[in-house]
A and B are shown apart, each in its own frame.
Chain A
Amino acid sequence: MTGWLTSRLLQSLAVLLVMSVAVHGLMALMPGDPIDLMIASDPHLNAADAVRLKALYGLDKPWGERYLAWGTQVLKGELGYSRLFAKPVLEIIGPAVVNSLILMGSALVLSLLVAVPLGVTASRHQGGWADHLVNTISFASVSLPTFWLGLMLMVLFAVKLGWLPAGGMQSLSGDGGGLLDSLRHMVLPVATLAITGIGQYARHTRAAMLNEAAQDYIRTARAKGCGPGRVVWRHQWRNAALPLVTLLGLEFGNLFSGALITETVFGWPGMGKLIADAVMGNDFNLALTALMLATAMTLLGSVLADLAMARLDPRIRLR
């Protein structure tokens, strides 16, 4: 177990290293550095300005040198300043991570709370009307485009009914603020993400439950006279949860990389928007730190998923 963890940790470090090279390289490969874009938009910039600015931002050096410079700086524990926001990188990423975790964590919990009972119910009445209903809900959920759903919820609840705010994290006028105000602002974006997530989890729960229902041990349990509820939750669900745990492991990294579309539509200042802006703005320090964080969390998610699987399924041993 300890050996397994150590080796996983080493592997993850290797992946992180490869990813940092890949991401840095991709960003450097992107056509047009910030100075090129400034030249394209400001007619007064001349050749001398371009040379001066490129030297100032270190863009005149070859790529390898720039990567090494970044790497040594990070190893020394300095994440540097964001070029776009002219602030220390962590000062920018900190609030964004918190905002994304709040948004995506609530949405994940909500969609699981709805989806798992739906999926289990559907599997117990396979082919019945409940099954068809759950399936239709699931298909609708996965075929709804996030941006469209978000806007529609906004049209209905914020504009037509006026019950909820259309975006942002708090009211900006009068005496806005406070917990209730923040909760009100969460409802629509969380609902948008949760609704589009329900279908996936419900279908996977249903499929896993059906898969287990046909296994011998369930028949044995039934034959031994276990009540249906007990069979479903104690035996079937325990094993059916495996694919869900894997899915959740996949989802873990996403919690830290945010939801670009939902964040943009609802003006929620989270990681999705931040990463996109940093990458597009060639903000190397910011983009690399944010993406390395997201990668590390994805790797951690997969470690956690494997650990959880081993606990849930005694037949799996981690070596």
Chain B
Amino acid sequence: MKARDLPALLGAVLLVLLCAATLSAPWLAADPEAMNLGAIHAAPSLSHPLGTDELGRDVAARLLNGGRVSLAVALSTAVLAALLGTSIGLMAGYRGGWLDAVLMRVTDGVMALPLLPLLIVLAALDPAKLGIGDEARSSEMFMVGRMVAIIALMGWTGAARLVRAQTLSVKTRDYVRAATALGASPGRIMIRHILPNVASPMVVAATLSVGNIILVESALSFLGLGVQPPMASWGNMLTGAMNVIWSAPDQALWPGLAIFVTVLAFNLAGDGLQRLLDPRR
């Protein structure tokens, strides 16, 4: 345990705290969907520690409950996209040749693919036709799963290109050549020698994407593919705040702060992870 590991530890603790708080929301806070039209945009008070929103619902309760969806989506999407991007980038960069060409052109294609029509086509798909019933369709699991799939499938490209670039550079270094000369298998070389050296752009890209993912989720809600009201998420709380930016400018504060703390925690923990992976440590 060194002093430089302290921030990483802090990040991990923050993450655990955030998860614990949002998971225990039902016991900690009031009903996030209980309305009171008589108390719209109420100031913070004892019964509503962070005030109320545009339908008189408790902001603190919505923040805690909304965090569950936002954190679940952010965590799984960031990890999934990073894994996908890293494996593709690693393969392309190390193997080279036609595999590299194919993988990278697919990456270019996905990167340039316009999201809007794709999402609208998705929004028009009737989940009932895929054998998903009403109950399952409105469940949190289904919603989160769909969002994770959509965002991850679109979000791996940056990581893939970064990892490939780094792999191209690393694979010509002496220690990799030495390992190849000693007869190590390609898989072993990729995982033991190259991966640790390409980890830093990957971790940075993944941890930085967290904030973005939480916001993309709210854009999906606009197309009916994200979290549907009355359920809360940090993303849709923030979007809602934009509409009342002139009459209640403070509504953006709490979800904004929550996203900031999450990004902070992810990045601190990511730094730690990177050092953990570092072979020169």
A residues whose Cβ falls under 8 Å from a Cβ of B: 7, 11-12, 14-15, 18-19, 22-23, 26-27, 29-31, 126-127, 132, 135-136, 138-140, 142-145, 147-148, 151, 155, 199-200, 203-204, 207-208, 210-211, 214, 239, 242-243, 245-247, 249-250, 253, 257, 275-276, 279-280, 287, 291, 294-295, 298-299, 302, 305, 309, 313, 315-316
- On chain A, the residues within 8 Å of B201 by CB distance are 204, 207-208, 243
Q: Give, as a whole number of angstroms, the nearest-CB distance from A11 to chain B.
A: 5
Q: Is B83 an interface residue (CB 8 A)?
A: no
Contact, CB under 8 Å: A27 / B260: no
Contact, CB under 8 Å: A23 / B117: yes
Which 9 A-B pairs rank lowest in CB-CB distance, beginning with the nearest? A143-B211, A295-B112, A315-B172, A143-B263, A246-B165, A26-B117, A31-B124, A298-B112, A207-B200
Contact, CB under 8 Å: A246 / B114: no
**Given A14-B105, A148-B256, A207-B201, A309 contacting B249 (CB threshold 8 A):** no
**Given A242-B166, A302-B104, A302-B108, A275 contacting B114 (CB threshold 8 A):** yes
Contact, CB under 8 Å: B260 / A19: no
Contact bitstring B183-215, A, C-beta under 8 A = 1, else 0? 000000000000001001101110010011001
Q: Give, as a whole number of angstroms, the nearest-CB distance from A311 to chain B.
A: 13
Contact, CB under 8 Å: A249 / B161: yes
Closest to A31 in B: B124
A207 to B262, CA, bound (A): 20
Q: Give, as a whole number of angstroms, the nearest-CB distance from A198 to chain B.
A: 11
- Pick the contact of B267: A135, A155, A291 (CB < 8 A): A135
Query: Interface of chain B, helix or strand or loop or mixed?
Result: helix
A275 to B114, CA, bound (A): 9
A144 to B205, CA, bound (A): 16
- On chain B, the residues within 8 Å of A18 by CB distance are 109
Contact, CB under 8 Å: A26 / B121: yes
Contact bitstring B139-165, A, C-beta under 8 A = 1, else 0? 000000000000000000110011001
Contact, CB under 8 Å: A279 / B169: no
Contact, CB under 8 Å: A203 / B169: no
Contact, CB under 8 Å: A155 / B204: no
Contact, CB under 8 Å: A207 / B256: no
A-B contact pairs, 22 of them (CB 8 A): A15-B108, A19-B112, A30-B117, A30-B121, A139-B267, A140-B260, A143-B264, A145-B215, A145-B259, A147-B242, A155-B245, A204-B201, A208-B201, A214-B278, A243-B165, A243-B201, A246-B161, A247-B158, A250-B157, A250-B161, A291-B112, A294-B112
Among B103-124, those with CB < 8 Å from A are 104-105, 108-109, 111-114, 116-118, 120-121, 124
Contact, CB under 8 Å: A15 / B117: no
- Between A and B, how many residue pairs show CB distances below 8 Å? 152
A14 to B113, CA, bound (A): 14
A200 to B208, CA, bound (A): 7
- On chain A, the residues within 8 Å of B239 by CB distance are 147
Among B196-249, those with CB < 8 Å from A are 197, 200-201, 203-205, 208, 211-212, 215, 238-239, 241-242, 245, 249
Contact, CB under 8 Å: A242 / B165: yes
**Given A23-B114, A309-B168, A203 contacting B208 (CB threshold 8 A):** yes
- On chain A, the residues within 8 Å of B116 by CB distance are 275-276, 279-280
Contact, CB under 8 Å: A291 / B165: no
- On chain B, the residues within 8 Å of A204 by CB distance are 201, 204-205
A163 to B161, CA, bound (A): 42
Q: Is B37 an interface residue (CB 8 A)?
A: no
A249 to B203, CA, bound (A): 19
Among B248-281, those with CB < 8 Å from A are 249, 252, 256, 259-260, 262-264, 267, 274, 278, 280
Closest to B204 in A: A207
* Best-buried of B114, B162, B165, B211 by chain A (most CB within 10 Å): B114
Q: Give, as a whole number of angstroms, the nearest-CB distance from B110 to chain A.
A: 10
